[in-house]
Structure 1
Amino acid sequence: IASGGVSSLADLRQIADAGLAGAIVGRALYEGRFDLREALEAVGSRLKSI
């Protein structure tokens, strides 16, 4: 699980492409960089946890 440094949907896609199980994106969500729906659409089912 990636924790920290996830500030964009591109970062989230890279994590999914790398095969990690999940990502912690609290600050990015809090700051409005993307919303949960956008995050889920960006990675599909490739991450088990966001």
Structure 2
Amino acid sequence: MTDNSMRQQFNAEQQDETDGKYEDVQFNAELADEDDLEAVARANEAAARQEQS
């Protein structure tokens, strides 16, 4: 990999970190749609299974 391509890859990775992709967000039940509620239910079920193990 050349220095230029390494620099471009690094810059792209840096951009990913600043575009909100990795940003923590708070769950808001008032704004949640059906998919959000389903995801919360699946996460809770997975957490319960993990605690049983």
Scaled by the length of structure 1, the TM-score of the pair is 0.28
- State which structure, 1 or 2, has the greater radius of gyration over its C-alpha atoms: 2
Q: Would you tell me which structure has more helix in proportion to its own residues?
A: 2
Structure (1/2) with the larger strand percentage? 1
**Structure with bigger RCO (C-alpha 8 Å, 6+ apart):** 1
- Calculate the TM-score normalised by the size of structure 2: 0.26
